[in-house]
Amino acid sequence: LAASLAHEINNPLQTVIGCLGLAEESIAEAQTDDDVETYVTMAHEELKRAARIVSRLRDLSRPTDPGQGVPTDVNEIIEDVLKVSRKDLKNNRIRVVQQLTTNLPQPVLVEDRLKQVLLNLVLNARDAMPNGGELALITEYNDVANEVVITVDDQGTGIPQDVIDQLFDPFFSTKTEGSGLGLFVSRNIVQEQGGRIEVESTVGQGATFKVHLPV
Ligand code: ADP
């Protein structure tokens, strides 16, 4: 992680150093303002990218105290996540379908951390459906494994097998503005709570993420 982080942050920093050098030259040579503006804008964008990476990493370096966990109503967490994302989903023509099992057993969790995971999955589903579609959120109890399972299912682009293999790697992203830390951080959080995340996908049909949480 440290090596990838150094690489990810070094790239934008080198670009910024280059841009500012060019801007300096333009100013010294009293060239047109356009040049300077282009370099400064580019440097600004790259610094924003570096800042995004650092802020995502801050989430990571905030390890959870296992003592903070409380028995949690997973359906309530889903409602909270939808509250903050519903408008955004609607603007992207995404219809939300909820199949929430009532009276689920309550796994011991740190609520904010689970919210962070589910929001990540919901926003990834949104990004995968640029032309809209259906997002299903399902909760179930598996009594054999004694775990609550949360399913986040979309009708998006789907994920090719070679991408699935790298999905949870830090900094792996196919998005121009992506940090590639969402799933990496999410998997860490779920594992901290003793659970796991699974993914299945058919290209062109969508992706299904399942979060398994032991009770
Ligand atoms: P980011 O969203 O910043 O790219 P993530 O770690 O959350 O980082 O996701 C990594 C990559 O996994 C995404 O760039 C995308 O290619 C792929 N991905 C994640 N969720 C989905 C999904 N629901 N459908 C299709 N691809 C997905």
For a substitution probing ligand 1, which of 116, 163, 183 has the most ligand atoms within 8 Å of its CB?
183
Q: How far is CA 27 from CA 30, 79, 186, in A?
A: 5, 54, 46
CA of 183 to the centre of ligand 1 (A): 7
For every one of its 215 residues, what pLDDT tens digit does the chain have, with 9 covering 90 and above? 777 778 888 888 999 999 999 988 888 887 666 788 899 999 999 999 888 888 877 766 666 565 678 999 999 999 999 999 999 999 999 999 999 999 999 999 989 889 989 999 999 999 999 999 999 999 999 999 999 999 999 999 999 999 999 999 988 999 987 888 899 989 998 998 899 999 999 999 999 999 999 99
Residues with CB under 6 A from ligand 1: 120, 124-125, 128, 154, 156-157, 159, 163, 167, 172-175, 178-184, 207
What confidence tens digit (pLDDT) does each residue in 108-119 have? 998 988 998 999
List the one residue out of 127, 114, 125 whose CA is nearest residue 199: 125
Q: Are 208 and 192 in contact (CB under 8 A)?
A: no
What confidence tens digit (pLDDT) does each residue in 49-65 have? 888 888 877 766 666 56
Q: Using only C-alpha atoms, what is the Rg of the chain?
A: 21
CA distance 140 to 101: 6
Q: Are 135 and 89 in contact (CB under 8 A)?
A: yes
CA of 55 to the centre of ligand 1 (A): 18
DSSP string, 151-203: EEEE-SS---HHHHTTTTSTT---STT--S-HHHHHHHHHHHTT-EEEEEEET
